[in-house]
Structures are given as structure tokens and as C-alpha cells.
Chain A
């Protein structure tokens, strides 16, 4: 089916895009469109104006230094070969090759699907999201950015410019889905550092543990400073299953998700 009628503009700069978005209440940005276009076609949403941000150079960058900085227009497939191994693990589990050709990091964060892979990964990384509006640029910690299912800290007229984080010394992403290219039943992203068999610091984020991607802070607390041994891992798995409040839907029951979250965490910790 066709999407409902809309106007279309393709600004060449960030400033121009922001001015257009600010000026029209019925406007929305489109990047890869891999979530937006299906929703438009289903007529689940509609906009009077689509602002195509695909050709804005300020949103397209990848810098790998002590800090990793990625522009909002970074396509999923580009991260399949990222110098940061954790990003590679996540990228290859997103959708399928066609979706990864077009879908973007910024789009995934702005859409904030409850089962979005990048929101979970960015939570585990403790990323900072750079957000631009006509008034200027502000930075939002990822923990404050994801507000709920399909809900973020983005105000009307704002765009994600990019994200910033440190590539973790150790990281793992374990995801369970019906098919390789489906959304997760449950997934766990772990990022941190380990020294002499002891966890120095760790952040754990999960999909399928709530109505949105969330940190598993009780499991993190079990692991902080502890030796990475079977007993400790079992305790962390236990804590994760206890703190999770999994949703149930056509993909999986809450109990199945609770079980899988533990398995995913155990495997992720084993892969650190």
C-alpha cells in the first residue's frame, strides 16, 4: 500500500533541516526509513511533510579515537566492520542485510523501538546522545534519552546529530529471536572491563526485560568488583531474572523471556 500523501523536502544542511522541522508541526525527519515507511504504509501514522535528512553531511561521520563518535546517519551495515568489536557484534544481529543497508543508528535511537538493538547497545555503552535544535546543541545521557516505548527525550523539531562513547575493553551482545532477522525475544548487551579475572566495571542492558530497553542494575551490582566465576555469574543471572519485568506478546511469554534473559546474560558474561 502507498503511504498517505505527504510533501517532501531534502535539505542540504543541518541548519536548513532544523529550520524546516521547527516551522512545521506536521513534519517528521526520514533517514533510512526502515521503520518509518512500514508505519506510513500501514497508515499507523501520517505526516504532512517528510524532511529527508539522508544527504546532510554534518550527520555523517565516524571517528575512532579514545572516544568513538558516530554520526546519526551511520548505517547499520557500516558498523558490521567497525574497529570497535562490540559494535560489530550488535550490527550483524540487526534485521537482515537489506534493512542494514539503509537503517541508521540515529533512526534506531529516535524511533526507540522497545526491541531496538542500538538502544540496548548504547545503554550498555553509557553513550551520550548529541541532539540539535534551532536553539543549539545539547547532550543527553542515553539513560535519560530513552523515556519509554517509542518515546525519547527528543523535543519537537530536534534531530539526533550523533552519539559518543568509549569502545568497551570487553563487550558482548547475545540475542534470541525467532528468525535471524526478527526482533528479539530477549537480548542482553554487556560492556565493561575485566582485570585479573575481576570485573572492574560493567553495564548491562536488556531487551525483553521491560516495556523498553533497560539496564539490569541489580545484576550489575552483583558483578561490580567480583571475580568472574561460575558462582558469581549464577548470582548475577538470578538477580537479572528477579529484577526483570518482561512483557508478553505474540513472540514470547513473560516467563519464557525471563528464562532467556538469564541464559543470554550467562552467555554474554562467558564471552567477555
Chain B
């Protein structure tokens, strides 16, 4: 089936088998910042923004995303750049595997005007980090959000 995806503002048209997952299609388009982690919709490493909302791309059929606007961490607007800088300053990554998911869920939080640490913790709870222990991620998001 032929589908179209607008990824970071660029329109792609691809032929996909209906059973193929969004994560695989994005990676084959070159967006390897979208990780395959647990592949069971738990860890959030495959998170992308789909029409402005974070989704786990290992848990979405590519055909379901037909016509959607997708953002990965290469979507470098002012908020994303600020977050990346803040992550760097606060050492909010160690192995880096969860970082794409952390950045994109944080981007969504900052965009909608996150107001408290509790909201940040809840907002990133769908991304599992197995090395930093979250403290520095929360710090980085707070700083980027001006909290």
C-alpha cells in the first residue's frame, strides 16, 4: 500500500506492507535516531511525534500513520535546540539509547507549557532509561522549560 508521511517537514511517499511498523519504515528512510528498544511498547525508545502527539512507533502500523506529520529529534526548531543544549549541559544522557524518546516527550511537554516537576516526571514516564536514573533528565527539562 502506498502511503505518504511528512517527516520533519519533508514529504515521503513509500510502498509498505500493511504489517510493517512505523519505526521500521522511518529507520529505512534514514531516521535511525528512532530506536528499536524493547519492541513491546514499553520502553519508549521508538517515540516520535505524530500529528503533535508522542507515540511509540513500534506500536503503530505505518499504514495507520498515512498522511501524518512526523517529528523526530532532527526536527530542529528553537524548542528542540534548547532542549538538546540543556540535555548536554545537565549530562542528561549516558548511553544515549533512550535520549531520542526523552527529547521528544520533553519537547511535547515544553511545547504545551509544562508547569511542574511532577508533570515532567509523569510526562517522561513512558520512556525508560536504564543508566542515568532520570534525575539529570528532569533537571534538563526543568531548565529548558524555565522552571
Answer whether residue B1 sits at the interface, using C-beta atoms and an 8 A cutoff.
yes
| A72 CA to B1 CA, complexed, in Å | 26
> With a CB–CB cut-off of 8 A, which chain A residues contact B143?
none
Which of B17, B39, B64, B121 is most buried by chain A, counting CB atoms within 10 A of its CB? B64
A52 and B63 contact, CB distance less than 8 A: yes
Scan residues 1-54 of chain A and give those whose CB is less than 8 A from a CB of chain B. Answer: 1-8, 10, 30, 33-34, 37-38, 40-42, 50, 52, 54
Scan residues 61-102 of chain A and give those whose CB is less than 8 A from a CB of chain B. Answer: 77, 92, 95-99, 101-102
B125 and A181 contact, CB distance less than 8 A: yes
B18 and A6 contact, CB distance less than 8 A: yes
| A17 CA to B54 CA, complexed, in Å | 28
Q: A1-B39, A6-B18 are known contacts. Are A97 and B54 too (CB-CB below 8 A)?
A: yes
> With a CB–CB cut-off of 8 A, which chain B residues contact A4?
19
Stretch from B26-34, B40-48, B81-89 at the A interface? B40-48
Answer whether residue B50 sits at the interface, using C-beta atoms and an 8 A cutoff.
yes
- Rounded to whole Å, the gap between the CB of A47 and the closest CB of chain B is 11
A3 and B54 contact, CB distance less than 8 A: no
B126 and A98 contact, CB distance less than 8 A: yes
Q: A33-B59, A38-B59, A101-B55 are known contacts. Are A50 and B125 too (CB-CB below 8 A)?
A: no
| A97 CA to B56 CA, complexed, in Å | 10
A33 and B60 contact, CB distance less than 8 A: yes
> With a CB–CB cut-off of 8 A, which chain B residues contact A179?
125
Q: A2-B20, A50-B18 are known contacts. Are A99 and B126 too (CB-CB below 8 A)?
A: yes
| A32 CA to B63 CA, complexed, in Å | 12
A52 and B44 contact, CB distance less than 8 A: no
Which of A40, A52, A95, A99 is most buried by chain B, counting CB atoms within 10 A of its CB? A99
Question: Residue A98 contacts which of B21, B39, B40, B105 (CB distance < 8 angstroms)?
Answer: B105
- Rounded to whole Å, the gap between the CB of B73 and the closest CB of chain A is 15
> With a CB–CB cut-off of 8 A, which chain A residues contact B53?
77, 101-102
B41 and A38 contact, CB distance less than 8 A: yes
Q: A38-B40, A77-B53 are known contacts. Are A181 and B60 too (CB-CB below 8 A)?
A: no
> With a CB–CB cut-off of 8 A, which chain A residues contact B125?
96-97, 179-181
| A42 CA to B58 CA, complexed, in Å | 13
> With a CB–CB cut-off of 8 A, which chain A residues contact B60?
33, 37, 102
Question: Residue B59 contacts which of A8, A34, A52 (CB distance < 8 angstroms)?
Answer: A34
In the complex, residue of chain B having the shortest beta-carbon distance to the beta carbon of A38: B41
B18 and A34 contact, CB distance less than 8 A: no
| A42 CA to B64 CA, complexed, in Å | 19
B59-74: CB near A (< 8 Å → 1, else 0) gives: 1110110100000000
Answer whether residue B6 sits at the interface, using C-beta atoms and an 8 A cutoff.
no
Question: Residue A95 contacts which of B18, B19, B40, B126 (CB distance < 8 angstroms)?
Answer: B126
Which residues in B have some Cβ–Cβ distance to A below 8 Å? 1, 17-21, 39-41, 44, 47, 50, 53-56, 59-61, 63-64, 66, 105, 108, 121-123, 125-126
Can you report 11 residue pairs joining A to B where beta carbons are below 8 Å apart? A2-B19, A34-B59, A37-B41, A52-B64, A96-B44, A97-B54, A98-B44, A99-B41, A101-B54, A101-B55, A181-B125
Which residues in A have some Cβ–Cβ distance to B below 8 Å? 1-8, 10, 30, 33-34, 37-38, 40-42, 50, 52, 54, 77, 92, 95-99, 101-102, 179-181
3 pairs of A and B residues whose beta carbons are closest in the complex: A96-B126, A8-B18, A101-B53
